[in-house]
Amino acid sequence: MAVGNSISGATGISGAVASANVGFNVTATFTTATGYSVSVPSGQTRVLRADELFSVKKFDWTTKQSCNTTGLRTASGARLSLPATAVILAITAGLLLSGCTPNGSDAAFSRDPAVDTLPTVGISDGLLTKLPRDLQSHVVASAVGDAAEFAVALHAGECAIAASSNGEAAAAKTSAPSAAGDPVSSPPWAGARNTLGPTSSVDAVVGDTTFTLFCGPKGAGVRIQPGAITSRTGAISTAPESTDGHQNFVVGPSADGS
């Protein structure tokens, strides 16, 4: 005689404590399967009973800052055990943000390879010699005005600006943030994060004029005093003005020449 038996059900791990700590709901699902057979002699009966007992052995939370915002990002390391069977359950709890991944890394930090293939432009020797030697062959944009000019070089996640005003010149260099936790400095215009990704910044000060360079994985931005620039060459376009009237520019693959 053959006896068949099946057991099905659902169980859950309360995420109340975890949810209270991280500020958003935490859930987990899992599946277990086992089998057992027994011979039942004629005229006798057997009772087959299956129980699943779970106990939480460990629950470690890790915190990580990402996407230029503060707060808890990831949780992991829930360990559960069954009789005779060990089950490791990893729980990842992520606060989904635009451009972010649940494990705490920020997809926006990925460098756009198109930045390194932008066409180069020619600039004056006065500006070229101010740039770091390793970036002098990677100048992708320039801009001039009645009393000021600047050029921007981009390559391998590094950005440099050379600027001049009223006969004086200066240069500055910075690198794009490459991971959550790197210093960031957001450009003062709407949509800059989507256009450039997370950015660092550096100033090139020439006399009374400050040229602020923002460097991101998708390109660069430049902020200067009102009315300083009247024409541009290369992969550069205007960005919305700051509330104080300063001129802003985007340099990189997203520049449309406007």
89-130 tens-digit pLDDT: 333 333 333 333 444 445 668 899 999 999 999 999 999 999
The average confidence (pLDDT) of the chain is 74
Burial class (CB in 10 A: 0-12, 13-18, 19+), 121: middle
What is the CA 162 to chain-centroid distance, rounded? 28
Please give the pLDDT value at position 58.
Answer: 47
Please give the pLDDT value at position 160.
Answer: 98
User: In the chain, pLDDT over 90 holds for what percent of residues?
Assistant: 41
138-175 tens-digit pLDDT: 999 999 998 899 999 999 999 999 999 988 999 999 99
CA dihedral 110, 113, 114, 120 (to 10 degrees): 120
Nearest to 182 by CA among 253, 105, 116, 113: 105
